[in-house]
Amino acid sequence: MILTQGAVRVLRRAGKAAGVVVVVGALAVGLWLGVSALRGDENGAAKAGSSPLLIYSEFGRNSDTIWAAQADDPSHRSRLTTIDHAPEYGVVASLSPDAEHIAYTVLPAEGFAAIDAPAEVWLMDRDGRNRKRLAADADLPVAPVWLPDGSAVVFRRSDNNESGGHFQLVQVTTLGVRRTLVDTTAGVMPVGFTPDGSLYFVSLSTSGTDLGVVYPSGGVMSNVAHLSDDFARDWHLSPDGARLAYLAPRQTASGVSYGAVVLDLGDGATNQLRAAAAPGSQADEFNPIWRPDGTGVTIGRLASNLAGGAPVLQMAAAGGPVVGALAPPPQGFDVPLAWSSDAGYLAVRFFEGNSVTNPGRSWVTVVGADGKRQTVSPNSDVEVMGWVDSGG
Amino acid sequence: MKRFALVALVLVIAASVSMGEKAPRASACAFQVAPTAYEGPKDRSLNLKAMDLAAYNMIAPGDDFFGLPRLEKGLRGTRSSVEPVIPPILLKSISWIESVTTQTTRDAPFGGIGPALISFDCGHGVMQVTSGMTVPLGTDGLATPDQLLVATHYAYNIARGAVILVDKWNAAPDYRPVAGTDTDSDPSIVENWYFAVWSYNGFTGPGAKRSNHPMDPVYGAWPRTPYSCGAANDGFGHNRGSYPYQELVWGCATRPPVVDGKQLWAPFELSLPDLNDSRWRNPLQLANWKSPYVGMDMPTPLPSHVDGTSQPPTSILYSILGLPKLGVYKSNISIAVKDDGTAEPQEVEIGNAGTGVLAWGATSSASWLTVSPTAGVAIANDVYCSAGDQCERDGKLTLTVNPSGLRSGSQRATVRVYSPQTKDTQTITVTIASVGKTGVPGIVKN
């Protein structure tokens, strides 16, 4: 079913109020339950109730480890569980909205180690209990996306044969009931759900990157917005589902760089956060993530004339000047990953290099509002899933 | 919607062209039963030497299957050909990504014989050769001698991988873009192999299940920490699922694997296309992803590098290939069929009385007599074997009688054992002394 843009807005408004209630409720439950499931099982374990906990996976050649680390001292961390996988190919995981569960794609340990081998989709409690396989035909690199109420995830599957590619976004409930939401010959990737249950997705074609949506009714609209004539990336829905922040390449006199853009999903208006660019310099922007309250966007930014370290910047979603910056690294640059719910801590990836093409070594780092910077792990292969509020 | 549908169709066509080069999945590849192969020492020294040889086209020059074709160079419309030399670092790095530079499965010991490595998509051995290995191409449903060598002998496998890489290079400009528009696409510049290496795994991009396009957002992190084959805590990335293929190869060349505390090769710096510079970024625009990819031609990534590995002396070639000699220790075997119609399988040892690694194949003249595996290796006394005096250097061939296929009375068949390297052939005569009752137990067949 294809809907018009007018119908889109009506449906979105109708579902928004109810959706917000669902999400707030889910977050509340998540905050209460968040730490209770953590078990300190080693020295220096994370302590419940002291500070927010960063949930992340750490790659290992044959198995990944899921950790919970204290924001104020990431060296205090608890091993939540481990996940075996095919050699060299780590899991791609996402935390449920209530932070109680983890969904992930994985190449089975005894299976074939290739990026296009069929991946499995698994669901488990955050501590690794109650593991359940939901699918065995997924694409490994595409992380599962959770429904707002945590009742299902959406994963991507695809087939390639002599006649071309075939892609599906498939919703599977925690009970294993499948439903195909998008079925297309274009390369698609899920973006995320709005609180009212609409799934946004992107499609890649030779004309660029387009945004589509699947409404709770099942109706699909493939061209909600044209995000870029080229590769757009790093898309993030605002907490209220009304806007989309993403990166799009832009041509400047001195070259090509990615710039952050905010798209209003209601009226289609876009704001390019170009105020961050200093005159006369080329700047690459990275991973525009929303502040927890949705009032602004946090971006990484690397200018061609970088001197010293480049901090992440806080921008108003409507554009305008930089409204704040976190503590910069001594050199290199930061890419924002995820805010704790109280906005007291930001997980970033710190690169020690000074160019996109050769960014050098990197480590996930927690930057506090007080300016304190702490490395999460000596290994670079860390993927942040999100935060659990300790409530304390 | 119409515009969307049209451009999606274009993309899918482009993707299908790309994917078409990846061999289709086969259920049974070139061999019904995995042959055996020889695995060299853990430091991969034999494999690495063979790569230097293959890079300089020394393993089988002039051979249609294992010899390198000439390399094309130059811009579109002004191509010429030169003697084929591949930067050896590329073969080394590719081999680690493909197979951790092993010819056998993990069940085989380093310095010994074990099952040949065959992947789910019929990639064989060190270089994971897939092309031409998905189905048996010989007579009677058997593998050809060339297929046999690819599966069993690391040096020939590497030589074939080198041929495939040259084929990918030579696919430009008709089917692939040209890298090095400012350097006459000189193949001695390693960075000019960017598209050829991309193609070795499949010249795939957005719209394909396995995309190797560096800008594809399916790779979630941007920018990407460079890939490393080195230590886990070196600050670089190690999760292969996060990188397009050519970045794995580039990263592994620069940050080589470490085995028992020693790097397998000296770190070799390589440059990727500068994605902030229009000269490289614009060719990689999404709009240019359409066959024959004319818009993707780009200059040499800077700074560029040349592999200074010198051509190996001929003595290295002899040490790798040796002078194997087929030795089958039995020429006649008599197999007794029991009263219940069954017969014990018989094992035949196949030796190598010469030097080096001998690849062998075996066929049976009768349908009631099967040989397994149909291919394998035997190693001579000069070949490194970790088990020392206890080393199992001979190949093992199992002969199995299928009684249901026997007629009553005496039966005779021959097993032909041959070596595709030496062209030697020996036969084993297999005799069933007398068959009264045959067939599966409980079924009398007279």
pLDDT confidence tier of residue A26, bands split at 50, 70 and 90: very low
For residue B193, what pLDDT is reported? 98
How far B394 CA lies from chain A's nearest CA (Å)?
30
Average pLDDT over residues A109-122: 91
- Residue B270: closest CA among chain A residues belongs to which residue? A358
B7 contacts in chain A (CB < 8 Å): 205-207
Q: What is the pTM of this model?
A: 0.90
Cβ distance A380 to B7 less than 8 Å, yes or no, reads: no
For residue B7, what pLDDT is reported? 39
Could you give the angle at the alpha carbon of A283 between the alpha carbons of A374 and A301, nearest 5°?
20
For residue B2, what pLDDT is reported? 38
Residues 168-227, chain A: which have Cβ within 8 Å of B?
184-187, 189, 202-210, 222-223
Cβ distance A204 to B286 less than 8 Å, yes or no, reads: yes
Which has the closest alpha carbon to B116: B364, B373, B328? B373
For residue B444, what pLDDT is reported? 36
CA B351 to chain CA centroid, Å, is 24
Cβ distance A158 to B237 less than 8 Å, yes or no, reads: no
For residue B434, what pLDDT is reported? 64
| Two structure tokens written together for B295 | 């818009």
Q: What is the mean pLDDT of chain A?
A: 86
More confident position, A281 or B5: A281
For residue A278, what pLDDT is reported? 57
pLDDT per residue as tens digits for the range A46-70:
766 679 999 999 999 999 999 999 9
Percent of chain A, pLDDT > 90? 69
Cβ distance A165 to B278 less than 8 Å, yes or no, reads: no
For residue A19, what pLDDT is reported? 42
Interface test mutation site (partner A, options B191, B275, B277, B284, max chain A beta carbons within 10 A)? B275
B20, B276, B290 member nearest A356 (Cβ): B276
CA distance B27 to B131: 15
Q: Element (H or E) spanning A9, and its range? A: helix A5-34
Residues 283-322, chain A: which have Cβ within 8 Å of B?
284, 286-287, 304
B11, B209, B272 member nearest A186 (Cβ): B11
Tokens 């790798």 map to which residue?
B320
Inter-chain CB pairs, A–B, below 8 Å? 213
Q: Is B294 on the interface with A (CB under 8 A)?
A: no
In the chain, the amino acid numbered B7 is V
CA distance A203 to A190: 9
DSSP SS3 for A18: helix
For residue A274, what pLDDT is reported? 64
B293 contacts in chain A (CB < 8 Å): none
| Two structure tokens written together for A168 | 């599906």
Average pLDDT over residues A301-318: 85
More confident position, A29 or A162: A162
For residue B15, what pLDDT is reported? 38
For residue A37, what pLDDT is reported? 36
In the chain, the amino acid numbered B28 is A
CB hemisphere CA count around B84 (13 angstroms): 26
Q: Is A10 on the interface with B (CB under 8 A)?
A: no
Residue A245 near residue A261, CB atoms below 8 Å: yes
Residue B300 near residue B283, CB atoms below 8 Å: no
Residues 223-252, chain A: which have Cβ within 8 Å of B?
223, 229-234, 247, 249, 251
A165, A203, A351 member nearest B223 (Cβ): A351
Give the ipTM of the model, two decimals please: 0.87
| Two structure tokens written together for A217 | 């009714």
Q: Looking at residue A276, what DSSP letter applies?
A: G
Q: Is B16 on the interface with A (CB under 8 A)?
A: yes
Residues 117-136, chain A: which have Cβ within 8 Å of B?
117
How far B418 CA lies from chain A's nearest CA (Å)?
33
In A260-293, which positions are buried (b, 16+ CB within 10 angstroms) versus exposed (e)?
A: bbbbbbeeeebbebeebbeeeebbbbbbbbbbbe
pLDDT per residue as tens digits for the range A181-191:
999 988 899 99
Which has the closest alpha carbon to B155: B277, B296, B59, B71? B59
Write the CB contacts of B377 (distance below 8 Å, at least 6 apart in sequence): B35, B36, B37, B38, B113, B152, B153, B357, B358, B359, B360, B395
Tokens 């007629």 map to which residue?
B407
Tell me the pairing of strands A309-310 and A332-339.
Answer: parallel
Write the CB contacts of A136 (distance below 8 Å, at least 6 apart in sequence): A118, A120, A121
Average pLDDT over residues A371-388: 97
Q: List residues bridging with B168 in a β-sheet.
A: none
A230 contacts in chain B (CB < 8 Å): 215, 285-287
How far A113 CA lies from chain B's nearest CA (Å)?
9
- Residue A362: closest CA among chain B residues belongs to which residue? B235
A2, A158, A356 member nearest B275 (Cβ): A356
In the chain, the amino acid numbered B413 is A
pLDDT per residue as tens digits for the range A136-147:
999 999 999 999
Residues lower than pLDDT 50 in chain B: 1-27, 437-446
CA A225 to chain CA centroid, Å, is 20
Tell me the pairing of strands A119-125 and A208-214.
Answer: unpaired
B275 contacts in chain A (CB < 8 Å): 256, 356-357
A139 contacts in chain B (CB < 8 Å): 209, 218
B208, B217, B232 member nearest A189 (Cβ): B217
Q: Is B141 on the interface with A (CB under 8 A)?
A: no
Q: Is A362 on the interface with B (CB under 8 A)?
A: yes
For residue B316, what pLDDT is reported? 98
Cβ distance A90 to B7 less than 8 Å, yes or no, reads: no
Lowest pLDDT segment from A129-133, A158-162, B150-154: A158-162
**Neighbouring C-beta atoms of residue A253, cutoff 10 Å:** 7
For residue A281, what pLDDT is reported? 65
Tokens 């510079």 map to which residue?
B277
Cβ distance B276 to A284 less than 8 Å, yes or no, reads: yes
How far B338 CA lies from chain A's nearest CA (Å)?
40
Cβ distance B208 to A223 less than 8 Å, yes or no, reads: no
**Neighbouring C-beta atoms of residue A335, cutoff 10 Å:** 26
B8, B16, B120 member nearest A205 (Cβ): B8
pLDDT per residue as tens digits for the range A196-208:
999 999 999 989 9
SS3 sequence of chain B: CHHHHHHHHHHHHHHHHHHCCCCCCCCCCCCCCCCEEEECCCCCHHHHHHHHHHHCCCCCCCCCCCCCCCEEECCCCCCEEECCCCCHHHHHHHHHHHHCCCCECCCCCCCEEEEECECCCCCECCCCECCCCCCCCCHHHCCCHHHHHHHHCHHHHHHHHHHHHHHHHHCCCCCCCCECCCCCCCCCEHHHHHHHHHHHHCCCCCCCCCCCCCCCCCCCCCCCCCECCCCCCCCCECCHHHCCHHHHHHHHHHCCCEECCEECCCCCCCCCCCCCCHHHHHHHCHHHCCCCCHHHCECCCCCCCECCCCCCCHHHHHHHHCCCCEEECCCEEEECCCCCCCCCCEEEEEEECCCCEEEEEEEECCCCEEEECCEEEEECCCCCCCCHHHCCCCEEEEEEECHHHCCCCCEEEEEEEECCCCCCEEEEEEEECCCCCECCCCCCEC
B12, B225, B272 member nearest A362 (Cβ): B225
Q: Is B3 on the interface with A (CB under 8 A)?
A: yes
Tokens 């104020």 map to which residue?
A72
CA distance A199 to A152: 12
Cβ distance B209 to A160 less than 8 Å, yes or no, reads: yes
For residue A29, what pLDDT is reported? 37
| Two structure tokens written together for B1 | 């919607």
Measured CA to CA in angstroms, residue A166 lies from A174, A210, A217, B77, B359 at distances of: 25, 17, 23, 36, 42
B21 contacts in chain A (CB < 8 Å): none
How far B120 CA lies from chain A's nearest CA (Å)?
6
For residue B64, what pLDDT is reported? 97
pLDDT per residue as tens digits for the range B327-358:
998 999 999 888 887 899 999 999 999 999 99
